[in-house]
Amino acid sequence: MKKQAAIVLGSILLLMSACSSQPNSTAPETASPGPSESDSVAPEKKIDLKVGRYSLPTWGYPEGDDFANNIWYRHYADKFGLNVTHEWTSLQSEYNEKLNIVIASGSIPDMLMEISTNQLETLVEADMAADLTDVFNEHASDLTKEILYGDGGLGMNSATFDGKLMALPYMTSVIYEPSLLWVRQDWLDNLNLPVPQTIDDVMAVAKAFKEQDPDKNGKNDTGGLAFSNWLFDGITSLTGFFNGYHAYPQTWLKGNDGKITYGSIQPEMKNAIAKLSEMYKAGLLDSEFGMKDTPKVVEEVTGGKYGITYGRNWNVYMYGAGLEGQPEMIWTPLVAPSADGKDVFANVGTTVVSYYVVNKNYEHPEILIQLLNEYNEMAYGPKRNDPEVKKFFAFEDGQTIVEQGHLSLVRTLTTDEATLKSLEYVIEAIEKRDPSKLDEALTETGKYEPSVAYLDGKGTGYMEYHQVKGFQTTIEHYGTDRLIPQAYSGTTDTMRDKMGILGDYEREMFTKIIMGAEPIDAFDTFVAEWKKQGGEQILNEINAVAKSN
Amino acid sequence: MKTSSDTARMPVLARLRMRFKRELPYHLFLIPGIILAILFCYIPMIGIVMAFQKFTVFKGWFDAPWVGLANFKYVISMPRFGQVMFNTVYISVLKIIFSLLVPIIVALLLNEMRNRKMKRVLQTAMYLPHFLSWIILGGIILDILSLEGVVNSIISAFGGQPIGFLSSNTLFPGVLITTEVWKSFGFNTIIYMAALTSINPDLYEAAEIDGASRWRQIWHVTLPGIRPTIILLATLSLGNVLNAGFEQVFILLNPLVMDSGDILDTLVYRLAFNQAQYSVATAVGLFKSIVSGVLIAVSYYLAYKLADYRIF
Amino acid sequence: MNYRMDGKKIFTILNYLFLIVLGLICIAPLLNTLAISLSSASAVAMGDVLFFPSNFSLDAYAFIATRSEFLTALNVSVMRVIVGSILQMLVTFISAYPLSRENRDFRMRTVYVWFFMFTILFSGGIVPLYMQVKTLGMLDSMMALVLPTSLAVFNIVLMINFFRILPRELDESFRIDGAGHWTLLWRLYFPLSLPAFATILLLAMVGHWNSWFDGMLFMNQTENYPIATYLRSIIVSFDFSNVRSEDAALLASISPRTTKSAQIILATLPILCVYPFLQRYFVTGLVLGSVKG
């Protein structure tokens, strides 16, 4: 018996020692001699870079490549002597959670990619982020500076704490963001209806789609205006509808008195909600919209249940799956119709999507800047149309084109103006079937081929062409002039504590009022409660910050 | 073997040594479990201090700023907190009761089935919902219970009005409980079936000889035979009294039924959404642990005193 | 007599009916998922699919066969279930034995029992657990998936109760012959508690198969994800509020419902086969004649 006990004990101990702890190391600089492969600037020292990244299972790779071994990493090794390894990877859907835990545990990799404002603030507060002010000034190329400051410095400002630059922002072009009205042209044609131009038109079209069998299949299986219970997403949302009433939900607005206030509590919202409530009563909205999230409604639209909905320029990528069962499906994007004939503006988000941060203990913070320089140069610089450079974005692997741009460690979109011009060039190129116009464009040139193929009746490029149509509508009407940007882009203390529940309260009240469970005047109660439950406090904090800037 | 009178004549030290020698194997058997518990439960338990701190990044468990009960106060100060607590207890108590009753009834009914093959097939079928996570089931339930879904189609076919199961505050808790029981009863049925097989068949014979009908047999032989299992599962499920099933509620919750459906965990989730508020989550976890602990301890002693049954 | 026979028959018929309907209700969602996985994407989007495939198509399964991540994840889970279940059963078995003794035979028993019960009541949360696993160097290894879960107090308590049902006379007859505890455990208790063993083994295997959170928490490479974690990532909806234009083209290739359904079916099938296999052990019970004396 004792012998058996000893065996049990012994094997447990053996098991324990098998998983001995490993020392936690930050990236040391290893000096290894030897020539690198290319004959350009061949650094002799190899620099290690450990990062944590997300991947999507739908990403494709050219033959022989994978996430850890791709064209960008090889390029980094050649040009900078950089040895990139993944300390951890996760799938995109849990990237945020994983980041939170890694940060909370107190030890982060050398660089963190695409982190949120909250995560950045946490890192800065915990003194874990490197100060990039000097390395940026020293190493950033002119192009990089131009792009990062393209919004007048708001983005860079949001990454600056106490005058020190603690992260690089991943900039975006807000001109992409207006919420358009998408209508099924084939349904309009079937019912001999013109495109809706006012809110009343929207109501009329919704009614016609619901009652007059627009898909001509003899079944009463279509509905009116489609949107999900998230109310303000980038697809199947209501944002465009509210814009028609000059209301800007979920936006920090600069009021006429110079003070910042919140879009969702403005009186204009009440008018829009009243109209929606009217439409609900008339049966023009899904009576169960409150229970359906965006993916569910997207599925219904794709399946041919709805033909009128608001959303951004890229929406048809999601509806394209319906083409198989409904080959006649065509969508027309429109400017959000106005309620009173006056020009419609669109609210857009901040110019920064996420941040890149360097670990304070990493010995080569300048690498981040260099990588960004490299990306900007290749994506937006004069050599961007070289076939050698194009490989890094759209790689021709036999018959298929494999997207690779997202594999770059550091990315950014370009400025609003540059994007606008690019879109104009691309649209012109497609209209004139003249690819040489594309040389001037900085971005979205990949839309040319598919769009032309579609227009020439080749049967492909449906989704890209629709996106181009969306681009056209967006820049023709909204451009850079009719946009309402966020007047504030940071986080205050009370925002951190209360914004989540305030947002939920907002959605709950709006849903109830639209569905008639509460009267229209409940909106006023909502505004008062919103302020009382922390909204007032938040606005005070924001205005205090704004004043001091 | 030494008799007790022999033992009584031994000096104290020798007696202790003998007991030690006799009990040593028991201690040794427990060592692996103890090591595992220390490594993965007790050492991480230090993290409970987060409930009293403003924790953001780990720099040592005792280095984060102490805020006392502020985290608890923050949660309690949320609007509708009282309603949320009520919902949590109401929903989970009903869930516990039905999750206890239904498997027992089904196990008894299954036991009456003579056809062994059928029994096995049905048991497997009933166990199936357990494998599908709420992410999947949620979507299916939304479809089935929607105004145009299967259930309402059947109701309409019988001439009734479609019922908004998922949009009514009166019906929503019922939906939560029914679907939860449906998903998990197969699991518990198996445990009861296993317990049923260990009842001595002689007892049934004896009862039958005494002229007892099948029902009386069940009442006097079967149920007492699985009574320990029932008490055990009941007590262990008390540990869940503040849980109420986060994943299920989260998927099925919508703005119209917040009043009756919002539970403690969904509230905390919304508070911490995107903010990584581990302190708040730990505080609520601690609160739940204390309540569960008290309930389990009380039922343990009640079962011991009243039914002479040691649950564990 | 006749009356009783009829009553019994009626009861039996009703019983069968009720249980069969119940069984059907339980299978329904899986049937629905199966049907979706075998239909074409557009039929599904139009809402045409209930229990039978519409526009029969094996596209979804063909697609999965080319995705190595799915198969890798399945692999990880199989490994995890085998190693983890065996480990858990061992720990459960040898821990339940001493804890099922009488208090007078084992003085510290109550202390130990509460020591273990405490662990299912109080927890420090995910951050401390993550850090502990990291300190032990187990991140990204199979150890992280099987070691913390090998202590399953709920199962130990179940086992304790099953052990206690076994009569003490059996113990004593063995011990008189001079057998040690170890022998007692494996020669006597194990065969007698087969139903309990099978039940708890099933619980352990299903637990491991469905466990997704620890996979997400502890695995650093997506190649090491168990199937439950992988599935969940695929099914959880894409965040539409922040979609950037440059990601738009990739949206089109996100799996439609048919592929998700196919993955669910493939991921559920293996574990479903375990139950019928273990079923036969549930019936054994107290068969040995040794009790009658």
Q: Do both C109 and C143 map to the same domain?
A: yes
- Looking at the structure, do residues C13 and C102 belong to the same domain, yes or no? no
Does the structure show a pLDDT above 70 at C50? yes
The burial class, CB within 10 Å (0-12 / 13-18 / 19+), for A277 is buried
Number of domains in chain C: 2
Find chain A residues with C-beta within 8 A of B279's C-beta: none
Q: What are phi and psi of A310, to 5 degrees?
A: -100, 150
Give the type of residue at A250.
Answer: Q
Distances (CA, A) of B239 to B40, C41, C64: 20, 43, 40
Q: Lowest-confidence range among A366-380, C59-73, C167-181?
A: C167-181
Give the per-residue pLDDT at B154.
85
Residue A456: HSE in the Cβ half-sphere, 13 Å Cα cutoff? 11
- List, in order, residues 6 or more apart from A302 with CB less than 8 Å away: A318, A319, A320, A321, A322, C45
Enumerate residues 6+ apart whose C-beta is below 8 A from A218.
Answer: none
- Pick from B44, B132, B312: CB nearest C157: B312
Test A86 with C241 for CB contact under 8 angstroms: no
C285 min Cα distance to partner chain B (Å): 5
Question: What are the DSSP calls for B61-104, one per residue?
Answer: TTTSPB-TTHHHHHHHTSTTHHHHHHHHHHHHHHHHHHHHHHHH
Task: List all residues of chain C from 135 to 154 with a beta carbon under 8 Å from chain A.
Answer: 135-138, 140-141, 143, 147
Q: How many domains does chain B have?
A: 1
Mean pLDDT of A350-379: 94
What is the predicted ipTM? 0.84
Q: pLDDT-derived band of residue A521, with 50, 70 and 90 as boundaries?
A: very high
Distances (CA, A) of B301 to A189, B232, B291, C100: 76, 13, 16, 17
Q: Which residue range is the domain that position B148 belongs to?
A: 80-307
Average pLDDT over residues A463-473: 93
Are the C-beta atoms of residues A354 and A116 closer than 8 Å to each other?
A: yes
Q: Cα A235–A236–A241 angle (5° rounding)?
A: 105
Q: What is the 3-state secondary structure (H, E, C) of A454-492?
A: HHCCCCCCHHHHHHHHHHHHHHHHHCCCCEECCCCCCCC
Residue ranges of chain A assigned to CATH 3.40.190.10: 47-171+352-380, 180-342+491-548
C171 and C256 in a single domain? The answer is yes
Burial bucket for residue A399 (CB in 10 Å: 0-12, 13-18, 19+): exposed
CA-based nearest residue in chain A for residue B142: A291
Burial of A14 (0-12, 13-18, 19+ CB in 10 A): exposed
What pLDDT, on a 0 to 100 scale, did the predictor assign at position A5? 40
Is pLDDT at C239 greater than 70 in this prediction? no
Find which of C52-61, C62-71, C91-100 is predicted with most confidence, using mean pLDDT.
Answer: C91-100
Average confidence score pLDDT of chain A: 87
- The residue type at A425: Y
Counting every residue written for chain B, the total comes to: 312
For residues C66-83, give the mean pLDDT. 89
Of all helices (H) and strands (E), which one includes residue A54? Answer: strand A47-55
Kindly give the interhelix angle for B172-197 and B116-127, rounded to the nearest 10 degrees.
140
Residue A327 and residue A264 in contact, taking contact as beta carbons nearer than 8 Å: no
What is the per-residue pLDDT for B7?
Answer: 58
pLDDT tier at A30, thresholds 50, 70, 90: very low
pLDDT of residue C244: 67
pLDDT at C157 over 80: yes
Determine the Cα angle at C45 with ends B131 and C249, to 5°: 100
* Contact between chains at B123 and C33 (C-beta distance less than 8 A): no
pLDDT at C3 (0 to 100)? 55
- Provide the pLDDT for residue C142: 93
Average pLDDT of A248-275? Answer: 93
pLDDT above 60 (res C42): yes
Q: What is the DSSP string of A266-320?
A: SHHHHHHHHHHHHHHHTT-B-TTGGG--HHHHHHHHHTTS--EEEE-TTTHHHHG
Distance of residue B161 Cα from the nearest chain C Cα, in angstroms: 22
Quick check: C79 pLDDT over 80?
yes
Residues of A in Cβ contact (< 8 Å) with B34: none
Q: What is the mean pLDDT of residues A331-355?
A: 93
Mark which residues 148-167 of B lie under 8 Å from A by CB.
164, 166-167
For A248, what's the count of Cα atoms within 13 Å in the CB-facing half-sphere? 22
Give the lowest-confidence range in A101-105, A233-237, A304-308, C54-58.
Answer: C54-58
pLDDT value for A26? 35
pLDDT-derived band at C255 (thresholds 50, 70, 90) equals low
Q: Is B227 on the interface with C (CB under 8 A)?
A: no
Flag whether pLDDT at A362 surpasses 90: yes
Q: Identity (one letter) of the amino acid at A544?
A: A
CB atoms within 10 A of CB B222: 22
Residues C39 and C78 in one domain: no
| Amino acid at the residue A215 | D
pLDDT attached to residue A76: 94
Do both C118 and C18 map to the same domain?
Answer: no
Please, which residues have CB within 8 angstroms of residue A306's CB and are 6 or more apart in sequence? A209, A222, A223, A224, A225, A226, A297, A300
Helix (H, G, I), strand (E, B) or coil at A403: strand
- Between B29, B109, B202, which is nearest C19 by CB? B109
- Taking the CA of residue A322 and the nearest CA in chain C, the distance in Å comes to 6
Domain that holds residue C39: 2-57
pLDDT in tens, A74-83: 999 999 999 9
Instruction: Give A2-19 pLDDT, tens digit per residue.
Output: 444 444 443 444 433 333
A36: Cβ–Cβ under 8 A, 6 or more apart, which residues?
A42, A43, A44, A77, A78, A81
Question: For residues B110 and C26, is the Cβ–Cβ distance under 8 A?
Answer: no
**pLDDT > 90: percent of chain A:** 58
* Residue that is written with structure tokens 């649950």 in the block: B311
Q: Which is more confidently placed, A494 or C146? A: C146
Is residue B22 in some structural domain? no
Selected residue with higher pLDDT from B116 and A302: A302
**CATH T-level fold of A47-171+352-380:** D-Maltodextrin-Binding Protein; domain 2 (3.40.190)
**Which of C204, C205, C194 minimizes the C-alpha distance to C281?**
C194
The pLDDT value recorded for residue C4 is 57
Residue A536 banded pLDDT, cuts 50, 70, 90:
very high
Q: Is the pLDDT higher at C249 or at A37? A: C249
| Residue C272 maps to a domain | yes
* CA pair distance B59, B231, nearest whole angstrom: 44
pTM of the model: 0.85
Give the lowest-confidence range in A484-493, A536-545, B172-181, C17-26: A484-493
Helix (H, G, I), strand (E, B) or coil at C194: helix
Per CATH, the number for A180-342+491-548 is 3.40.190.10
Mean pLDDT lowest for which of A237-251, B7-21, C156-170?
B7-21
Question: Across the interface, do A295 and C237 touch by the CB < 8 Å criterion?
Answer: yes
Q: Which residue in C101, B25, C178 sits closest to A3, CA to CA?
A: B25
CATH of the domain at B127: 1.10.3720.10
Q: What is the mean pLDDT of chain C?
A: 81
Same-domain status, C130 and C38: no
Closest Cα in chain A to B39: A16
Q: Regarding predicted confidence, which is higher, A63 or B273?
A: A63
User: Which has the closest alpha carbon to A468: A454, A482, A478?
Assistant: A454
B276 and A118 in contact by Cβ < 8 A? Answer: yes
Q: Return per-residue pLDDT of chain B as tens, 312 residues.
A: 555 556 566 688 888 888 777 788 889 999 999 999 999 999 999 989 989 988 888 877 788 888 889 889 988 888 889 999 999 999 999 999 999 999 999 998 888 888 888 888 888 888 888 877 787 788 888 888 888 778 888 888 888 888 888 888 999 999 999 999 999 898 888 878 877 877 778 888 888 888 878 788 888 888 888 887 888 888 878 877 888 888 899 889 888 888 899 998 888 887 776 667 888 888 998 998 998 889 888 888 888 888 777 777
| CB distance C204 to C155 below 8 Å | yes
B298 at C interface, C-beta within 8 A: no
**Are both C260 and C137 inside the same structural domain?**
yes
pLDDT at A525: 95
Q: What is the pLDDT of residue A253?
A: 92
User: H or E stretch including A113?
Assistant: strand A111-115
Helix axes of C194-210 and C257-282: crossing angle, nearest 10 degrees = 170
Task: Answer yes or no: do C50 and C72 share one domain.
Answer: no
- Mention every residue, 6+ apart, whose C-beta is less than 8 A from residue A103: A112, A119, A122, A123, A128, B57, B276
So what's the pLDDT on residue A23? 33
Give the residue with greater pLDDT, A401 vs A458.
A458
Could you tell me the pLDDT band of residue C99, with boundaries at 50, 70 and 90?
very high
Task: Read off the pLDDT band of C108 (50, 70, 90).
Answer: confident
pLDDT for the residue C78 = 93
Nearest to A172 among C141, C222, C244 (CB): C244
Using the Cβ of C170 and the Cβ atoms of chain A, whether some distance falls under 8 Å is answered with: no
The answer to whether position C165 is within a domain reads: yes
- The predicted pLDDT at position C249 comes to 64
Residue B3: count other Cβ atoms within 10 Å of its Cβ: 7
Q: Does residue A541 have a pLDDT over 70?
A: yes
**∠ Cα B158 B161 B164 (to 5°):** 125
In a domain? residue C175: yes
Whether B33 and chain A come into contact, CB under 8 Å, resolves to no
